[in-house]
Structure 1
């Protein structure tokens, strides 16, 4: 038989294959030919790549004071990537659809939004709201959120907290600053959120962006606090009736584009999904036995999930639960005498080709 005269696969099939590669591999293959070199900047391919990538979740975690992060992938295992391109010592404050919002450790009030897959970043302009520490007692906002819709241009960064005069208790005014990447400016609005309650480290860490809104779980477990970014309005979203205020281990996550909560008991992990956002209708989509990891349950925290698997972190481990096979697997374990619990620095992450500098 002679050699085929045409290509082995149609162009569309090749694009579908390339869209399922890690971003790092995709950029490495740019040298194959001119057409592949142009792919990361081609609108059709970028849309295709992001549509495929948002269906998968990985877990990223900072395991030391260095700029190296570990990335745990359900299919590819464990890898590392670095934030050294920021040329600053940072910690991750929020993650959304491939972008990270990072705060400078040595210089309070300095924030970056970066895509670690493409190594592109953007330093945010300082807000003119100079008395920032008067309602952020530790020099940072109580809530930091990042919103990025891969089907649209740009992103938003949100910083919010109660206003307090120097040396006084919060006065009930909830101050919110919103950075719009397209205008490259901050806007501010103040809301009266009396009795809003507090936030734990985990509820601040697990901010969820769905339906054009950012969501945080209140520490009292009575409701979810949501910010409508289009109208600058806060909204309280009810939790399932079966989850009472207090006394539960409940965590707010995303599930394939929907708002979700995971409830933990000593022997069960129950996954809820909000099927109707406007009517606030929840339903149970899975109940998972924890008996085979019983010794780890008191210190285990769900970090991210899809319809296929759930990633959880303990003090030193990352576990994955495969929902179809109902199997548990240890994916990563911290070596040495690492002191901080791993879940303190673990975030949901997706690998996308979302740029940071649309408007620049």
Structure 2
């Protein structure tokens, strides 16, 4: 890993600058110059909403996500994703999967998945979820309305984090503030949520979900300490089994733990 991008999400600020941090001094020698400005290819403010395999998914309007761009920050090349004009989704949680089959040919295939976030002053009980997805192979958007086997609760849009985490075996994952993980299985076309165990939610003030080496990790942090759990059960299992991997002070973190922590950030 050469490094990672970071862009704060603060509702009291209209825009936060994009910053790139190299993972080591050696990594900084691989890239010529800073990558901070590599996402500003349109000459205006941009927002990173997801990342996958070194590629970034970017929007101009964070509040009304209709036009997306896929960007390679190293080569500073980008392409424009067709806008879905028939969309009724304005506020969305977004997932992004990018595959590079042949790095020598610089050919990529990517999928964008998003679902509608509720507009309400209170959390809503949802019995149906609208899913929109885009495939670079078909160059088209598709929409499906999934009727849920078990209704789930979604929070008011201004409280939800809905950070895109990544994809494991076709299953997209998001986290909703600190207690619930949402899953969308793009293979079997089903959507569900799972609440985290109580011991994974107390004692910290920030939380992160990330994927490393094909496994799902959850980190709970306070000002001085970080605790990390790994999902031991199958990603599609409704009976999630979490195993605590480590608990330590930040100044005693191992390089592997720091790499996990970095992967949680965009």
Question: What TM-score, normalized by structure 1, do the two folds share?
Answer: 0.55
In the alignment, what sits opposite 2:5?
60
In the alignment, what sits opposite 1:176?
131
Show structure 1 runs of 4+ deviating over 6 A. 63-68, 199-202, 245-248
1:102 and 2:47 are equivalent in the alignment: no
1:123 Cα offset (Å): 0.9
1:151 Cα offset (Å): 4.8
Q: Distance in 2 between matches of 1:99 and 1:201?
A: 27
Q: Which whole-Å deviations, capped at 9, do the CAs of 1:2-37 have from their partners, x for residues lacking one?
A: xxxxxxxxxxxxxxxxxxxxxxxxxxxxxxxxxxxx
Q: Distance in 1 between matches of 2:182 and 2:207?
A: 14
1:145 and 2:95 are equivalent in the alignment: yes
What stretches of structure 2 of length at least 5 have no aligned partner? 103-107
Q: Secondary structure at the match of 1:195?
A: strand
Tell me which protein shows more helix as a share of its residues: 1
1:103 Cα offset (Å): 0.8
In the alignment, what sits opposite 1:283?
243
Q: Which whole-Å deviations, capped at 9, do the CAs of 1:126-172 have from their partners, x for residues lacking one?
A: 1132433xxx3xxx42x01111244585111122114679xxx9783
Structure 1 residues 220 and 72, CA gap change in structure 2 (3 angstroms):
closer
In the comparison of the two structures, how many residue pairs are matched? 239
What stretches of structure 1 of length at least 5 have no aligned partner? 1-55, 294-304, 313-319, 321-345, 349-360
In the alignment, what sits opposite 1:211?
169
1:99 Cα offset (Å): 1.3
1:258 Cα offset (Å): 0.9
Cα pair 2:112 2:133 within 8 Å, conserved: yes
Tell me which protein shows more strand as a share of its residues: 2
Larger radius of gyration: 1
1:62 Cα offset (Å): 4.5
- What is the CA RMSD across the aligned residues, in angstroms? 3.9
Q: Distance in 2 between matches of 1:212 and 1:57?
A: 26
Cα pair 1:252 1:262 within 8 Å, conserved: yes
1:225 and 2:175 are equivalent in the alignment: no
